[in-house]
């Protein structure tokens, strides 16, 4: 099946940047075992179909099962310029249980869990500094909808931090309790930054996808 970038996935584009709303279940970059169905492949096919002569340089990345906004620069220098500034990254997350406070900050170092190449954990001896802020948006019978902001970019940071305070993501089969849905309840919904070429402040948002909205009860 050909990789086709649907109009609903296109969040923003100009001569220097492309921002895509990635669906859950899709890798950002090809691997040895998976090619042709990654977000990179979709962007490449989009360029070819529209006669766009540009590079595909990721500025941000998401886990396979996290949906939401991903930035690609069309030139290496634009990728470099963006990497030098603090891009505001905010997520919508469904966490298990109810929170005692309406907002909070988690500062706990994260390291790779011993014996695993994938799993991370809070580790005050080996870990690297990590900071996550959260705000409660709504509480439901068995879960809470959060707005989460990253101040650092450690692997699985939101998942590890929320699990460390007893509120893992809904359906997180690595750090919480597996659920009926194939993916954890995390969506990268907002990016905000100064355009590296025009200096215009950009704010791009995408609503919670339908599959996660169905979990709000």
Domain that holds residue 71: 7-213
Note the pLDDT of residue 162: 98
Q: Is 150 left (phi over 0), alpha (psi -120 to 50) or beta?
A: beta
- The pLDDT tens digits of the residues spanning 114-124 come to 999 999 999 99
Which is the catalytic residue, given 41, 63, 100, 123?
63
Strand partners, 81: none
In sequence order, the 6+-apart residues with CB closer than 8 A to the CB of 212 are 67, 92, 94, 185, 187
pLDDT over 70 at 1, yes or no:
no
Using pLDDT thresholds of 50, 70 and 90, give the confidence band for residue 180: low
Mean pLDDT of 132-143: 95
- Identify whether 2 is part of a domain: no
- Identify whether 18 is part of a domain: yes
pLDDT over 50 at 165, yes or no:
yes
- The pLDDT tens digits of the residues spanning 17-40 come to 999 999 999 999 877 677 668 999
Q: What separation in angstroms does the CA of 214 have from each of 69, 181, 208, 211?
A: 20, 11, 10, 6
Half-sphere exposure of 24 (CA within 13 A, CB side): 17
Q: Is 63 a catalytic residue?
A: yes
- Identify whether 200 is part of a domain: yes
Indicate the pTM of the whole model: 0.92
pLDDT over 60 at 157, yes or no:
yes
Q: What separation in angstroms does the CA of 149 have from each of 36, 106, 194?
A: 32, 11, 17
Note the pLDDT of residue 2: 57
- Identify whether 1 is part of a domain: no
Query: Which is it for strands 131-139 and 120-122: parallel, antiparallel or unpaired?
Result: unpaired
How many folded domains does the chain comprise? 1
Write the CATH number for 99.
3.30.2350.10
- The pLDDT tens digits of the residues spanning 81-130 come to 999 998 999 999 999 999 999 999 999 999 999 999 999 999 999 999 99
Mean pLDDT of 46-69: 94
Using pLDDT thresholds of 50, 70 and 90, give the confidence band for residue 204: very high
Distance, in Å, from the CA atom of 75 to the CA atom of 145, rounded to the nearest integer, reads 37
Mean pLDDT of 188-205: 97
């Amino acid at each position: 099946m050909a990789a086709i970038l649907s109009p609903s996935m296109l969040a923003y584009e100009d001569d220097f940047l492309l921002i895509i709303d990635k669906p859950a279940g899709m890798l950002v970059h090809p691997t040895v075992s998976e090619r042709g169905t990654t977000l990179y492949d979709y962007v490449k096919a989009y360029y070819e179909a529209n006669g766009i002569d540009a590079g595909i340089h990721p500025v941000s990345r998401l886990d396979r099962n996290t949906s939401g906004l991903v930035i690609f620069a069309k030139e290496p220098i634009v990728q470099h310029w963006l990497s030098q500034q603090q891009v505001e990254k905010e997520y919508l997350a469904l966490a298990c249980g109810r929170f005692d406070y309406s907002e909070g900050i988690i500062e706990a170092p994260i390291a790779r869990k011993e014996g695993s190449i994938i799993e991370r954990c809070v580790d005050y001896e080996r870990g690297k500094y990590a900071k996550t802020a959260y705000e409660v948006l709504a509480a439901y019978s068995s879960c809470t909808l959060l707005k989460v902001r990253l101040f650092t970019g450690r692997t699985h940071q939101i998942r590890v931090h929320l699990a460390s305070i007893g509120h893992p993501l809904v359906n997180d089969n690595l750090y919480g309790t597996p659920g009926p849905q194939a993916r954890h309840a995390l969506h990268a919904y907002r990016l905000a930054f100064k355009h590296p070429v025009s200096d215009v402040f950009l704010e791009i948002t995408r609503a919670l996808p339908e599959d996660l909205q169905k979990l709000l009860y």
